[in-house]
């Protein structure tokens, strides 16, 4: 990833005991902003929604590899309003001739803003969210070195600008009937910045 910025905050009921390698209590409150992850996998196509929901009779398998991922999530945060935003990061350029300030967002960024496997979902207000959990863990005596995050939701459609490019970037808008994100970030330096608030940047 060209953008190395990442910020994770979890507002927790109580932090893990100092010197003990246990996770802090999981919380539904916090903030996550990162472009340091990627994704790959397969897209299965079906002839009907009923077959897709039942997971039977797929008509095509499309491989997705080496995609960049941007995540921006807030839940009951003290500063940022609730939001669930994930996509291939289209907002920065890899072309050295242009800079983002020249209005060329995503220029040359083929693993973020175009092609098979590009996806986006922008849920301002987190109205499609059905569950969220954030927790720091693996305290090494100074820092919490890991961060676990999970998100579930349903029925994210046109109002959330939902897209998935299976064949290309034309006609790729639709409905995410169910979605889930689960990740663990490691090698962090999470520290308590206020009572009940742990942050890693």
pTM of the model: 0.82
Helix and strand numbers, DSSP H then E, in the chain: 1, 10
Q: Residue 51: helix, strand or coil by DSSP?
A: helix
Q: What is the pLDDT of residues 179-200, one digit of tens each?
A: 999 999 999 999 998 888 899 9
Q: For the chain, what is the mean pLDDT? A: 84
Enumerate the H helices of 113-164 as residue ranges. Answer: none
Report d(CA 150, CA 104) in Å as an integer: 33
At 90-140, the pLDDT tens digits run 887 777 776 656 667 778 788 888 889 999 999 999 999 999 999 999 999
Nearest alpha-carbon partner for 72 in 139, 21, 126: 126
């Amino acid at each position: 990833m060209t953008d190395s910025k990442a910020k994770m905050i979890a507002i927790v009921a109580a932090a893990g005991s100092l010197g003990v390698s246990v996770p802090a209590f999981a919380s539904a409150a916090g903030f996550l902003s990162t472009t340091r992850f990627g994704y790959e996998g397969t897209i299965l196509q079906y002839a009907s929604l009923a077959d897709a929901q039942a997971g039977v009779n797929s008509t095509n398998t499309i491989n997705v590899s080496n995609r960049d991922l941007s995540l921006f999530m807030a839940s009951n945060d003290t500063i940022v309003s609730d939001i669930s935003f994930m996509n291939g990061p289209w907002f920065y350029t890899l072309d050295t001739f242009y800079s983002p300030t020249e209005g060329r967002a995503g220029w040359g960024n083929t693993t973020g803003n175009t092609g098979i496997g590009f996806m986006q979902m922008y849920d301002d207000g987190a109205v499609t969210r059905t569950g969220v959990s954030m927790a720091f863990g693996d305290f090494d005596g100074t820092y919490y070195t890991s961060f676990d995050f999970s998100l579930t939701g349903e029925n994210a459609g046109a109002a959330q600008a939902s897209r998935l490019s299976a064949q290309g970037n034309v006609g790729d808008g639709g409905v995410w009937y169910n979605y889930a994100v689960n990740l663990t970030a490691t090698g962090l330096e999470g520290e308590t910045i206020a009572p009940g608030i742990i942050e890693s940047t």
